Amino acid sequence: MATETERGAVATYIPPLARIDPKQFGLCVVTADGEIHSAGEAEEAFSIQSVSKVFALTQALGKIGDTLWRRVGREPSGTPFNSIVQLEREQGIPRNPFINAGALVVADVNLAGHAPRVAIGELLRFVRYLAEDETILIDEHVARSEQETGFRNVALANYMRAFANLTHPPELTLGVYFHQCAIAMSCRQLAMAGRYLMLGGLLEPGGARVISAQRARRINALMLTCGHYDASGDFAFRVGLPGKSGVGGGILAIAPGKASIAAWSPGLNENGNSKLGTLALERIAEATGWSVF
Ligand code: DON
C-alpha cells in the first residue's frame, strides 16, 4: 500500500494548536461486539474541537427535542465551517448544527439559563459517561486562547443575536462553545464515546439507552451530509461513513451496527479536515466494506 508523505498543515488560527507536532497519527476502532483495535498514538489526547459538536447536538436534542430545528437547519452549507455569508440571507438560521453558527445555537440551547460552567460541566460528564472514562478533561489553555482569538465566532454569535436566534448574551454562549471545543480526548476515548451512534442509541450491546434509535440515525445522517463542511460530499465519496472532523485533526466516523472509529493526525487539508485521518478512514472503509453505500 502506498505511503503518504504529505501530511497537511496544522491549524494556526488557534495558537496552541499551531504548536502541535504534525507527525503524529493515531487510530482506534471499537467494534459492535466491544473489541478495541488501536494503532499509532491512539492514547494521546488531542483537542477534539468540532467533533464536540456531535455530543453537544445530542445534549441539545435531549433538552428541547425537535424544536431545535426551528432554530437550526439540516442542510449541508457548501461553505467553510466558519462562514457567515448565508446567515444574512437566511435570517440568522444556520444551515446545520455542525458549522460554527449552528454549533453556537446548540451551545445557546445547552446553556439553558445557567452559568456557562454548568452547561459545560454537563457536557463533560456526558462525554465521560459515553467513553466510560472519568479522566477526560478540558484544556483550559486552548479554551482561553480561543476566547482571545475567536473573532469570527464572536461575529457569528453577535450576528445571530441580532436575529434573536441566540437567547443568552453572546459572551456566555461563546464561553460554552469555546470550552466544548477544548475538550481533550484520545482516539480510544473518542471511539468509545461514539459507540451510541454505532449501536442505534445504546451505550453498549444490550446496555443503557443513551438516545432513541431514530435520533441516532438522524445524527448519523447529519454527520454524513454536514460533518465535513464544504468537503462533506468528498468525505462521503471517499469514505462512505457518517463522520465529524475537528481542526485539532480528529475525525469520528461511524459504521452503523459495525464500528465506531476515531482517527487523528493534526495536519489538515484545505478544508480544515485531517489529511491522514481521512486517508486512513478511506482505506479502512475500503478494506472492510463498511461504507453505508
Ligand atoms: O470555532 C472554531 O473555529 C474551532 N473551535 C472549531 C473549528 C473546527 O474544528 C472546524 N473543523 N474542522
User: How large is the average pLDDT for residues 7-31?
Assistant: 94
CB 151 within 8 A of CB 84: no
In the reported structure, the alpha carbon of residue 33 is separated from the centroid of ligand 1 by a whole-number distance in angstroms of: 32
Task: Using the predicted structure, report yes or no on whether residue 4 has a pLDDT greater than 90.
Answer: no
49-68 pLDDT, tens digit per residue, is 999 999 999 999 999 999 99
User: DSSP code of 3?
Assistant: P
Quote the ipTM score. Answer: 0.97
What positions carry a catalytic annotation? 50, 53, 177, 229, 247
Counting ligand 1 atoms within 8 A of each CB, the residue from 17, 48, 49 with the most, and so the one to mutate, is 49
DSSP conformation letters of 202-271: BSSTTS-BSS-HHHHHHHHHHHHHHTTGGGHHHHHHHT-S-EEE-TTSEEEEEETTTEEEEEE-S-B-TT
Task: Using the predicted structure, report yes or no on whether residue 118 has a pLDDT greater than 80.
Answer: yes
Residue 9: burial class (beta carbons within 10 Å; 0-12, 13-18, 19+)? middle
Which one-letter amino acid corresponds to residue 47?
S
User: How large is the average pLDDT for residues 73-92?
Assistant: 95
Assess whether the C-beta atom of 246 lies below 6 angstroms from ligand 1: yes
- Binned at pLDDT 50, 70 and 90, residue 228 comes out as very high
In the reported structure, the alpha carbon of residue 11 is separated from the centroid of ligand 1 by a whole-number distance in angstroms of: 9
Assess whether the C-beta atom of 266 lies below 6 angstroms from ligand 1: no
Domain map of the chain by residue range? Answer: 15-288
- The percent of residues above 70 in pLDDT, for the chain, comes to 98
Is 220 assigned a ligand-binding role in the annotation? no
Check residue 221 and give its pLDDT.
Answer: 98
In the reported structure, the alpha carbon of residue 46 is separated from the centroid of ligand 1 by a whole-number distance in angstroms of: 13
Assess whether the C-beta atom of 100 lies below 6 angstroms from ligand 1: yes
- Binned at pLDDT 50, 70 and 90, residue 7 comes out as confident
Residue 121: burial class (beta carbons within 10 Å; 0-12, 13-18, 19+)? middle
Is 247 assigned a ligand-binding role in the annotation? yes
- Binned at pLDDT 50, 70 and 90, residue 271 comes out as confident
In the reported structure, the alpha carbon of residue 150 is separated from the centroid of ligand 1 by a whole-number distance in angstroms of: 10
Is 245 assigned a ligand-binding role in the annotation? no
Task: Using the predicted structure, report yes or no on whether residue 173 has a pLDDT greater than 80.
Answer: yes
Counting ligand 1 atoms within 8 A of each CB, the residue from 50, 146, 183 with the most, and so the one to mutate, is 50
- Binned at pLDDT 50, 70 and 90, residue 6 comes out as confident
What's the half-sphere exposure (Cβ side, CA atoms, 13 Å) at 128?
12
Q: What CATH superfamily is the domain 15-288?
A: DD-peptidase/beta-lactamase superfamily (3.40.710.10)
Is 72 assigned a ligand-binding role in the annotation? no
Task: Using the predicted structure, report yes or no on whether residue 2 has a pLDDT greater than 60.
Answer: no
Check residue 212 and give its pLDDT.
Answer: 98
Task: Using the predicted structure, report yes or no on whether residue 1 has a pLDDT greater than 60.
Answer: no
